[in-house]
């Protein structure tokens, strides 16, 4: 390692100390996460400058990744135990099983409804900014991406709704607990619900054994939540490392070349945040209070680009800060990580569809074409979990369904990481909005956070 790179690494380590002191002085997570965000931006900018001075950030980034990627790995580790035990505990505590059905329907209605709105917003922004696939240049990276997409098309070409629904049913729970499939989270949810319903049956027929099961589930839930809170302590440092790496790797030249698309994407995402806020306001929830509570979760989602990894922080924030019931928090976080993602499954494929359709002479404002696009987007948002890959696979489902080529998805690869950060934050916010609205609508029918 060069001396300059070693000096940069020492400086990064030195920045962790004031962040640690700041974190210790503030009981709440939000101030420390914000401080970590600022330090990450500053250090990432320093790495950009260091490249011009002859230093090699590539020698520093793997060591920073030990902290950032290590933290993300810990969160992925928590996902399956948290989903299994939390959903199981929610079912065991909710003696009225009809409430579970209402929770699921309410959460899915918000997720899919807002995804339909997100598709319309994507179309609107693409039109306002005059986006078109015409003039996009294909370079070496783009050509390689086209080849990869061509191979992946085989994974989605025969996709059908029955196949999607079947993929949600667990076949080997141990395999799904290891996250072997893209639908493993939903499969674990289904298994946990079935296991919980079996526990309720035992409690009705054998009250003494049922009470023992309930006590065991409660103990396991307290244990897992303690583990979650233990890992959450490292959030400010993980955010700092992740943001520093993202800033250091950003190519400002690529961003400028596709500035209109980047700007339109961020405008669409911002508008959907406003839509979420209006939905909360109409239902008696203060958007200012809501966003004050959830912004640390959004910062982590932005920096990690992983809805699944954000599930533990999502659940904890819904329970502790938003006062949503554990059942609602876990259902909304789990479903929102794989179904009805407003950014990846709503805005992105709709914008790409418009960009391709306009040069082909299609009237994208034709009511029939627009209604078809929205319907396809909503249906595909339910099926993305069946094939994985987030926004790219959403495009691979939506574009062929609309009779459009998929090559454009490869031509935007240079700015994909930047936009994906904001899309992930929107996806996670959609899940938390669904949970908060469901709590508002069904609050009296499910036990609150104090049940923990």
pLDDT score at 429: 95
pLDDT score at 149: 47
Cα radius of gyration (the chain): 22
Asked if pLDDT for residue 257 goes beyond 70, the answer is no
Note the pLDDT tens digit of each residue in 33-54. Answer: 888 888 988 898 888 887 776 6
Structure tokens at 126: 């693409």
pLDDT score at 437: 96
pLDDT band with cut points at 50, 70 and 90 for residue 275: very high
Distance CA 374, CA 59 (A): 46
Q: Which domains does the chain have, with CATH numbers?
A: 3-451 (1.10.3860.10)
Q: At a CB cut-off of 8 Å and minimum separation 6, what does 390 contact?
A: 341, 344, 384, 420
Stated as kind and residue range, the H or E segment containing 394 is helix 391-401
pLDDT band with cut points at 50, 70 and 90 for residue 193: confident
What is the percent of the chain where pLDDT is above 90?
24
Q: Which of 66-75, 217-226, 234-243, 376-385 has the lowest mean pLDDT?
A: 376-385
Asked if pLDDT for residue 140 goes beyond 70, the answer is no
Residue with tokens 């070693």: 6
Report phi then psi at 395, rounded to 5: -65, -40
The Cα-based distances of 259 to 254, 265, 402, 410 in angstroms read: 8, 10, 26, 17
Distance CA 316, CA 224 (A): 11
What pTM does this model have? 0.78
The answer to whether the beta carbons of residues 415 and 385 sit under 8 Å apart is no
Closest C-alpha among 222, 221, 233 to residue 75: 233
Helix, strand, coil % over all residues of the chain, rounded to 5: 80, 0, 20
pLDDT score at 339: 81
Structure tokens at 168: 């949600």
pLDDT score at 231: 87
Could you report how far apart the first and last alpha carbons of the chain are, in Å?
A: 50
pLDDT score at 446: 56
Distance CA 450, CA 89 (A): 13
pLDDT band with cut points at 50, 70 and 90 for residue 298: very high
Note the pLDDT tens digit of each residue in 430-442. Answer: 999 999 999 999 8
CA 110 to chain centre: 15
Asked if pLDDT for residue 395 goes beyond 60, the answer is yes
Closest C-alpha among 314, 271, 279, 273 to residue 440: 279
CA 424 to chain centre: 4
pLDDT band with cut points at 50, 70 and 90 for residue 443: confident
Structure tokens at 425: 């934050």
The answer to whether the beta carbons of residues 413 and 142 sit under 8 Å apart is yes
Note the pLDDT tens digit of each residue in 397-439. Answer: 787 778 777 666 656 665 677 788 899 899 999 999 999 999 9
Identify the residue with better confidence: 144 or 416.
416
Q: Which of 32-46, 89-103, 178-192, 345-359 has the lowest mean pLDDT?
A: 89-103
What is the percent of the chain where pLDDT is above 70?
83
pLDDT score at 433: 96
Closest C-alpha among 430, 151, 184 to residue 314: 430
Return the sign of the alpha-carbon dihedral for residues 409, 414, 417, 423: negative
Q: Which of 60-69, 186-195, 233-242, 413-422 has the lowest mean pLDDT?
A: 413-422
Distance CA 183, CA 156 (A): 14
Note the pLDDT tens digit of each residue in 54-69. Answer: 667 778 888 898 998 8
Asked if pLDDT for residue 114 goes beyond 90, the answer is yes
Distance CA 103, CA 186 (A): 15
pLDDT band with cut points at 50, 70 and 90 for residue 391: confident
Note the pLDDT tens digit of each residue in 15-30. Answer: 998 888 888 877 677 7
């Amino acid at each position: 390692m060069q001396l300059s790179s070693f000096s940069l690494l020492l400086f990064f380590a030195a920045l962790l100390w004031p962040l640690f002191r700041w974190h210790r002085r503030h009981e709440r997570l939000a101030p420390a996460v914000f401080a970590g965000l600022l330090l990450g931006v500053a250090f990432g900018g320093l790495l950009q400058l260091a490249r011009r001075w002859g230093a090699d950030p590539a020698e520093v980034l793997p060591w920073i990744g030990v902290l950032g990627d290590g933290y993300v790995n810990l969160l992925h580790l928590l996902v399956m135990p948290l989903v299994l035990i939390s959903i199981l505990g929610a079912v065991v505590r909710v003696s009225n099983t009809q409430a579970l059905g209402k929770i699921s329907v309410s959460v899915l209605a918000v997720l899919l409804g807002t995804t339909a709105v997100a598709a319309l917003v994507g179309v609107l922004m693409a039109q306002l900014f005059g986006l078109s696939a015409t003039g996009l240049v294909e370079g070496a990276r783009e050509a390689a991406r086209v080849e990869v997409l061509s191979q992946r098309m085989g994974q989605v070409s025969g996709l059908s709704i029955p196949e999607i629904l079947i993929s949600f049913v667990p076949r080997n729970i141990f395999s799904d607990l290891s996250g072997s499939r893209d639908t493993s989270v939903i499969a674990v949810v289904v298994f946990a619900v079935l296991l919980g319903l079996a526990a309720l049956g035992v409690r009705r027929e054998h009250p003494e054994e049922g009470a023992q099961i309930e006590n065991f589930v409660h103990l396991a839930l307290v244990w897992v939540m303690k583990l979650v809170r233990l890992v959450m302590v490292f959030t400010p440092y993980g955010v700092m490392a992740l943001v520093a790496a993202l800033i250091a790797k950003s190519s400002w030249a690529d961003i400028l070349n596709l500035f209109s698309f980047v700007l339109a994407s961020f405008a669409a995402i911002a508008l959907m945040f406003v839509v979420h806020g209006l939905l909360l306001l109409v239902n008696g929830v203060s958007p200012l209070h809501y966003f004050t509570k959830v912004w640390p979760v959004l910062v982590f989602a932005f920096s990690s680009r992983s809805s699944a990894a954000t599930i533990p922080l999502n659940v904890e924030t819904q329970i502790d800060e938003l006062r949503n019931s554990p059942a609602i928090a876990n259902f909304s976080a789990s479903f929102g990580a794989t179904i009805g993602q407003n950014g990846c499954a709503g805005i992105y494929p709709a914008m790409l569809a418009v960009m391709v359709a306009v040069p082909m002479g299609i009237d994208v404002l034709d009511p029939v074409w627009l209604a078809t696009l929205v319907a396809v987007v909503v249906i595909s948002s339910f099926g993305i979990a069946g094939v994985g890959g987030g926004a790219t696979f959403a495009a691979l489902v939506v574009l062929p369904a609309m009779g459009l080529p998929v090559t454009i998805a490869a031509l935007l690869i240079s700015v994909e990481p930047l936009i994906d950060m904001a899309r992930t934050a929107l996806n996670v916010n959609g899940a938390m909005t669904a949970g908060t609205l469901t709590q508002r609508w069904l609050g009296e029918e499910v036990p609150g956070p104090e049940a923990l």
